[in-house]
Structure formats: C-alpha cells, structure tokens
Structure 1
Amino acid sequence: MNIEAKTGKRGLTTFDLKVLGIVFMFIDHIYEMFSIMGAPEWLDWFGRPVATLFFFISVEGFTHTRNKEQYLKRLWLGFLIMNIGNYLVQYFFSVGNLGLVNNIFSDLFVAVLSMYGIELITEGYKTKKYGTLFKGILCILSPLLLSAIILLAMTNGSMSILMIGYVLPSTILSENSIMVYLATLLYLFRKNRVLQCIAIAVVGALYAGVNVTALFTTNTQWMMVLAIIPIALYNGQKGKGMKQFFYIFYPAHIWILYIIASLIYTHFY
C-alpha cells in the first residue's frame, strides 16, 4: 500500500514536517537547558517524536537527493562543527553540571550511511561488482566497529582514543544510540507507509515496556509513536525549500539557549 501515491498534494509536505520537528525540538531544548531552574517536565514530551520525524525526513532526503555522497558530507561537516561549537560554548559558559552533548548530525550521518550501504550492496549484487558490495557492507559496519573500539578504549581507560569519536560519528556516541537504525528500517520500508508506521509503533512499544510505571516521568521515549501522525499525513511533496536552514538553526538555537541559561543561572541561582 503506497499512501504517498494515493494522497496526492493534500496533507503535509517535507517542509511542513521539518517546521513541525524544529518547533517541537526547540520546546524540548528549552526544557533541557532550563530544567535545572524548574522548567516543567512536560516540555520534554514535545521532543520525543522529533528524532523519529527527522529519521523519516532523512529517508526522504536520501532517496531524492541527486548527490548522496554530498549529502553525507554535509551531515559529517555538521557533526564536526557541532562538536567544536559545543566544546567552545562549554569552555566559556556552564549551566550547573549540564553537559552539552547534543549532536543530531551524528545520528543522521550513521542512519544515512546505513542507507547508502544498503544501496551499494543492492547495486553490487545486481551488477556483480563485489567491490561495490564490499563498500556497502563497510558503510553499514563502520559506525558499529568504531563503537566497539570506543567502548574498548573506555573499558581500558585509553581516553585519548575517544577523540576519534569527536571526528568520526559512531553508533554508541549518537544521541539515540542504537535507535538510529530505526531510520534504516524506515528506508527499507520506504515504499510502504503502513510498514513504516508499524516499525515506529513497535520500537515505541519496546521503550514503553522498559518501565511501564514511569511512562509519564522518567520513561517518555515511547512518545516517539506520536511521530506516526504527521508521517501518516505526509503527501510526498517537497514543499518550500529550506535546504540550509536546519544546518544553521540546529546548532545556533542550542548554543544560544545554553548561553542564556548559563547567564541566568550564574546571576540568579
């Protein structure tokens, strides 16, 4: 069942999904930066569907982009710039013990790299080009292998090796860790919106099952299932262009919120 083909131009465009994700993300980050000063916990609920929504958008972006390598390069540069900016902001400002570890570019890079790997494996298998097939396997495995190296370094206390995680995205250091591969499932099911929504629902149910008694307190990630609503309404249209806006807005709003929170906390708490 291809809902995209049936919905025509009615519903939400990619632009609409991005705006929705950005608004919810902004509210969530207000909670993150100001929770130490009493920001209500329910603000955090807005952020739970955001990663899932951006995973879906990344599938659409990867599927329709003309230059997939350039797409990956942009995400890697965003990841690198975000890490440098996080370090510099925390060097001059602080909000209690709140560490600035936000970097959705890491998640998106790992997710899109897995999509690229699947595409290369498919191409290599069809054309009998085993070099292409091997490259695809490497694309999928490299973030996991890097995660193993980082985990081993942490276990052995080799902290200098951890620096590689600030230059190359890994699964273990991604904001959503292993959940980034939900994006891979969404890519595999890209031609069937119903299966995409089922995949999201199943992952959300797994999160809910971790601690059923704390579904509205400490265990709120299950709320990611709410991303199903806008995704189901997606009409397959691009809408207005905002190609570079997210790359600028994402780091800028996090750094600005952190700096404002630091100034308020330092002077009034």
Structure 2
Amino acid sequence: MFLISDTLKKGLSTFDLKVLGIVLMLIDHVHQMFVPFGAPNWLDWFGRPVATLFFFVSVVGFTHTHSKKAYMLRLYISMVLMSLFTFLLSKIVGYEQVQLINNIFRDLFVGTLMMYAIDLFVEGKNTANLKKSFAGILLFILPALLSVFVLSALSNPLILQNPYGVLAITTLLPALLLAENSVMVLLIPLLYLARNNRKIQCLLIALVAAIYFFLGSTQWIMIFAIIPIMLYNGEKGKGMKYFFYVFYPAHIAILYLLSAFLYNR
C-alpha cells in the first residue's frame, strides 16, 4: 500500500516505464514460446499494453535525444541484426512449433522514421523550404510505399525461390507491412504530434484501443498503458540505454531454446 502511495506521489520515470514494459513483455513471450505446452491464453493479455508503452517511451527518447540521426541508426542496426538473429536461430534449432516473428526494433524504427519526417516537414514549412517539406512527406509515406514493394516482390515466384532475396527484403526494409504490430505503429507519430499534451496522447491510445475492442481483438487491453503513462513524471531515472537492446534478443533466445529443448526431450 505504501509502495502504491509513494508511486502516485513521485510518479514513474522513463526507466520505470521501460522496466514495466520488459516485465509484461517477458510474460507475453513466455506464453508465445510455451503455447505447444498449453500455456493459457490469458498470459498473452499481459503483453497487450507493452507496445504502447514502448511507443510512448520512443517518443520521449526521440524528443530528448542529442542526436536524432544516431538514435535512428541505432534502431535500424538493431532491426537488421534482430531479423538475422531470429532467422538463424530458427534455422539452426528447427523448432517449427514456435514461429519467431519478434522484432520490436522494426516497429520503433518505422515510428522514428515518421517522427523524423514530421520534423523535416515542419522545418521546411517554417523556413519556406519546399524541398524539405516534400522530403518530409515522402519520408513519412516511405514505410507504406515499401509495403507495396514487399507485397509485389514476395508475390514474384523468382524472388520466392531465392531464400536470400526474401531474407534481404524482410531484413533490410522498414516496411509497415513487416512491422510486428502492423498499422498500430502509426500510433507513434500520432503520439509525437501530441507530445506536449499527455491527455490527448492518452485519448489517442483509448481511441485505438476502442477500435481493437470493436474488432474483437484482445489488443484493446492496451488501454491499460494509459495508467503508467499518466503517472509519467518526465524524469529519465536510472540509465538503461543499452540494456533493452541486449535483453530483448537474449530473453527471446533463452525462452525459445528452453521450449525447443523441453519439446524434443
């Protein structure tokens, strides 16, 4: 009770939101990896607010980073390495009962690309620089354009017969279609546009959750991300810059290998 009261007074830092997201994500991935053993579906519910929390944190991080280009480059490299990592892991282990499609880095990079596009457009508009404004628009719709390209490429028999061609496309391209959370990634630029108004940000999250609710998807549980987001105190908290970049692939590999080992005993 004291802990809850103290949290309400102090609020949650960026570090706290990341830790909360990691804990919920871990529970969600336990469900994913142990579905062949009959892991209950309600474990998946814990993971529904996770993407929203990380989307919000990415907006905060991108807004306050000293180098937005370095921030984007770090996410892009992580996206590529994660894609290669899961591909190689699944090929080596050969555990077909669990499909490794995990790559939150792609979602975050696509969202960051759109945030950068918004900045570019606004800068061009404020300086009457049409080239920058046009570049901003083009960059913003690039993930959608790449999605069209991916659909076209992956429907080509010649490319489908070449596993390395498919791997290159699904690894290197920040296409919205390939994002783990699909069109939900569009929530990132929306949260960025409303970055100076927490209530509007939470309203946007609630609206997206309502859409999922009426579609009959459990993703509506993302609405509970509003609680920690409203408690966010604007402070960075403890340093945790590279921990998530290591923890994310590590915990997926450990859970996947453990599940494969137990299944094949």
Instruction: Verify same fold: TM over 0.5.
Output: yes
Aligned-pair CA distance for 1:138: 2.3
Give the equivalent residue in structure 2 for 1:233: 231
1:216 is matched with which residue?
Answer: none
Q: Letter of the 2:131 partner, please give it.
A: G
Could you tell me which runs of 5 or more consecutive residues in structure 1 were left unpaired when the two chains were aligned.
Answer: 1-7, 212-218
Bigger RCO (CA 8 Å, 6+ sep): 1
**Equivalents in 1 of 2:111, 2:149: separation in Å?**
19
Q: Which amino acid in 2 is paired with 1:90? A: S
Residue in 2 that maps onto 1:191: 196
Contact residue 9 and residue 237 of structure 1 kept, 8 A: no
Q: Is residue 30 from structure 1 mapped to residue 35 from structure 2 by the alignment? A: no
1:263 to 254, 257, 261: 261
Q: CA deviation at 1:70?
A: 0.4
Q: CA deviation at 1:88?
A: 1.4
Quick one: which amino acid aligns to residue 111 of structure 2? A
Q: Percent identity?
A: 53
* TM-score, scaled relative to structure 2: 0.92
Which residue among 171, 178, 192 is the counterpart of 1:173?
A: 178
SS at 1:172's partner residue? Answer: helix
Query: CA-to-partner distance for each residue in 1:123-157, whole Å, 9 max, x for gaps?
Result: 01111222222221222111111100111223344
Q: Is contact 1:18–1:57 with CA below 8 Å preserved after alignment? A: yes
| Distance in 2 between residues matched to 1:232 and 1:106, nearest whole Å | 26
| Equivalent residues in 2 for 1:41-120, closer than 5 Å | 41-120=41-120
CA distance in 2, matches of 1:151, 1:203: 25
1:266 Cα deviation after fit: 0.8
Note the aligned Cα RMSD (angstroms): 1.5
Count of aligned positions: 253
Report the secondary structure of 2:34's partner residue: helix
- More deviation in 55-64 or 249-258? 249-258
Verify the 8 A CA contact 2:56 2:191 in the aligned structure 1. Answer: yes
Distance in 1, Cα, partners of 2:18 & 2:105: 15
Partner of 1:20: 20
Q: Secondary structure at the match of 2:177?
A: coil
Q: Secondary structure of the equivalent of 2:178?
A: coil
Unaligned residue ranges in structure 2 (runs of 5+): 1-7
Asked if the contact 2:36/2:97 (under 8 Å) is kept, the reply is: no
